[in-house]
Structures are given as structure tokens and as C-alpha cells.
């Protein structure tokens, strides 16, 4: 158990360190020379650095400190320690590591700067830390007010940040910065949730056994069979027992699954929704021998 813990800590440290250098490259190698900013707490730090002429390496740990304390209270000590290491490392990287100014092209700067920052944030999150305290703040607000979602808080913060950037830095820089943020956020999504986004599919059909066999034998997917009762339908209230099938596939396989279900039962009731992650079971197709 102790060996597993050490390996886990080493893996987290490698991911966080890689995230630090990736974010450092995005900032010093692309964005800072063009005065572009990112969203979130990093964007606030960059905006204040441009306005107040204070080094970004000084502002990032100062502005992130309250969010680390929030994370300690809401998530735990391990998260706070890892995040402190990550943010301190990023600050040191910005202060002492030399990165060349990769390109003067503004479009390439905004896109690839966002990509490397997003990769850095995503790698750090995979290691159990944050380089940007935005998500922690949004989580705290959403927990205190159940009607506000995390995504709404982040969106509101970024609207304010980019509106301020437009006022102080100019509309063009604000628009390029929005492109940077969009690229960074999509990169984070891919690193955290994977390129293969998963879809959960619920199937209600009188031909549930044939569909179950099709999913397991033809599509080579796992399926969970749930006991259920039919509710209100065309023939009125029913207490007839039935089976509900539940399966998880990648989004690229949803169309194939729905077509196969329609071949067996065109009247089958099928509901699908996206999920963030899936582990265990048979999610990816088994290799056939």
C-alpha cells in the first residue's frame, strides 16, 4: 500500500511539474509579449500586471492564496499542499526560466498560448492540484447558492475580466484574449475528460433480452439490467414488470448503438445523456481474439 502511495505521489508530482512548464511556456513564450490575458484568476493576475506594472510572478501566488485557503476548507489538506506547490512552482518558473518569444503572429499567439496554458492547468488538475483558483471559487459560490451553477459563476467572472481588459487594454486585445481563453478551456476539457466523451444510454423495450444480447455479443459493450415496472402509456396505467437496460458508450458509438436498437425494436424508448467520466466495466470495445 505504501508503494502504491509513493507511485501515486510521484505520478502527481510529474503531472504537476509538466503542467507548470506548459503553463509557463504559454505565458512567457506567447501571451506576455503581446499583452494578451487568459480567463479566471490567471487572467486577473495578468490584467493587474499589465495595468499596475507588477511582475506576474508576484501577483499569481498572492491572488491565488485566498482560493488555496478555500480549497483547503472545501476539499482537503492534500489538495491545498499540491496546489501551493503548483502555484509556487509556476511563479518560480515565470521568474527564473527563460522561454523564447515563439511567434509575433497575434492569432497564433492567442491560440497556442491558450493551448499551452490549458494543457498546464489540465495536467495540474490530473495531478490533484490547480494552477488557477477559479474553479474553487465557483464551487464555493455554487454550494452556498444552489440556484447558481459552477459554470455560471465562471462565465460571469470571465465576462467581467474581458470587459475590463477591453477598457484598459483595448478591444482587439480583449477579443484575442477571449480566443485564448476558449482554446485553454477546451484543452482543459480534453485533458480532464478525454477526447472520447462518454454517453450513457437507457433503453426500455419489450425486446430487452434481444437488445441485451446485441449490446454484449455484437457491440461488445457492458450492459446493466434493471428491474422496473411500466408506468403510464397508451393503454393506461400498468403494473407490468419489465427490464431497463443501461449501457455506457463513447459518443462516436452512439449512432451505431441506436441503429442496432432500431433494427430490433423501432418502438424502443431510448434516452441518452453525456457523462464526464467512466471507469471499470466494459466501456471501450474489447479486442476480439
What CA–CA distance (Å, rounded) separates 195 from 115? 15
**289 inside domain:** no
Q: What's residue 249's pLDDT?
A: 85
**211 inside domain:** yes
Q: What's residue 288's pLDDT?
A: 36
Of 1-15, 60-74, 214-228, which range is least confident?
1-15
**102 inside domain:** yes
What CA–CA distance (Å, rounded) separates 108 from 80? 34
What CA–CA distance (Å, rounded) separates 139 from 143? 6
Mean pLDDT of the chain: 84
Question: Which triple of cell numbers denotes residue 212?
Answer: 441485451
Regarding whether 252 and 127 lie in a shared domain, the answer is no
Which residue range forms the structural domain that includes residue 73? 2-193
| CB within 8 Å of 90: residues ≥ 6 apart | 20, 23, 24, 60, 120, 131
Locate cell 465557483: which residue?
138
Binned at pLDDT 50, 70 and 90, residue 275 comes out as confident
- What average pLDDT does this structure show over 7-31? 93
Q: What's residue 2's pLDDT?
A: 44
Residue 267 has pLDDT above 70, yes or no: yes
User: Which CATH number is 240's domain given?
Assistant: 3.30.70.120
Task: Report phi then psi at 20, rounded to 5.
Answer: -60, -50
DSSP 35-49: T---SHHHHHHHHHH
Residue 8 has pLDDT above 90, yes or no: no
User: Over the stretch 130-166, which tens digit does the pLDDT of each residue have?
Assistant: 888 887 776 666 566 656 665 566 778 888 999 999 9
Residue 237 has pLDDT above 60, yes or no: no
Regarding whether 189 and 224 lie in a shared domain, the answer is no
Which of 173, 193, 213 lies at the terminal end of a domain, its last residue? 193
Regarding whether 28 and 129 lie in a shared domain, the answer is yes
Which of 171, 193, 215 lies at the terminal end of a domain, its last residue? 193
Query: Could you tell me where the DSSP H helices lie in the chain?
Result: 2-26, 32-34, 40-52, 56-74, 77-96, 106-126, 134-144, 150-169, 171-193, 208-213, 254-264
Are 258 and 198 in contact, with CB atoms under 8 Å apart? Answer: no
Length of the chain: 289
Are 192 and 74 in contact, with CB atoms under 8 Å apart? Answer: no
Q: What's residue 4's pLDDT?
A: 45
H/E run at residue 234:
none
Regarding whether 140 and 7 lie in a shared domain, the answer is yes
**282 inside domain:** no
Residue 129 has pLDDT above 50, yes or no: yes
The pTM of the full predicted model, rounded to 2 decimals, is 0.74
Amino acid at each position: 500500500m505504501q508503494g502504491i502511495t509513493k507511485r501515486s505521489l510521484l505520478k502527481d508530482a510529474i503531472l504537476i511539474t509538466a503542467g507548470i512548464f506548459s503553463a509557463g511556456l504559454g505565458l512567457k513564450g506567447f501571451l506576455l509579449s503581446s499583452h494578451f490575458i487568459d480567463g479566471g484568476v490567471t487572467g486577473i493576475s495578468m490584467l493587474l500586471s499589465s495595468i499596475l506594472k507588477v511582475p506576474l510572478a508576484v501577483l499569481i501566488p498572492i491572488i491565488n492564496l485566498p482560493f488555496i485557503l478555500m480549497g483547503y476548507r472545501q476539499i482537503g489538506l492534500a489538495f491545498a499542499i499540491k496546489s501551493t506547490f503548483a502555484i509556487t512552482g509556476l511563479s518560480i518558473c515565470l521568474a527564473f526560466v527563460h522561454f523564447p518569444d515563439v511567434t509575433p503572429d497575434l492569432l497564433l499567439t492567442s491560440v497556442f498560448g491558450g493551448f499551452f496554458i490549458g494543457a498546464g492547468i489540465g495536467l495540474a488538475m490530473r495531478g490533484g492540484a490547480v494552477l488557477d483558483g477559479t474553479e474553487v471559487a465557483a464551487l464555493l459560490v455554487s454550494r452556498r447558492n444552489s440556484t447558481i451553477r459552477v459554470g455560471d459563476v465562471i462565465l460571469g467572472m470571465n465576462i467581467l475580466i474581458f470587459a475590463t481588459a477591453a477598457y484598459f487594454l483595448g478591444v482587439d486585445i480583449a477579443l484575442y484574449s477571449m480566443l485564448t481563453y476558449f482554446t485553454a478551456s477546451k484543452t482543459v476539457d480534453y485533458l480532464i475528460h478525454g477526447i472520447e466523451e462518454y454517453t450513457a444510454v437507457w433503453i426500455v423495450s419489450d425486446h430487452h433480452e434481444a437488445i441485451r444480447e446485441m449490446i454484449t455479443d455484437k457491440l461488445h459493450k457492458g450492459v446493466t439490467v434493471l428491474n422496473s415496472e411500466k408506468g403510464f402509456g397508451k393503454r393506461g396505467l400498468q403494473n407490468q414488470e419489465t427490464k431497463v437496460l443501461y449501457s455506457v458508450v463513447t459518443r462516436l458509438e452512439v449512432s451505431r448503438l441506436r441503429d442496432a436498437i432500431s433494427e430490433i425494436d423501432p418502438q424502443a424508448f431510448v434516452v441518452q445523456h453525456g457523462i464526464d467520466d467512466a471507469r471499470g466495466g466494459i466501456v471501450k470495445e474489447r479486442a476480439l481474439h
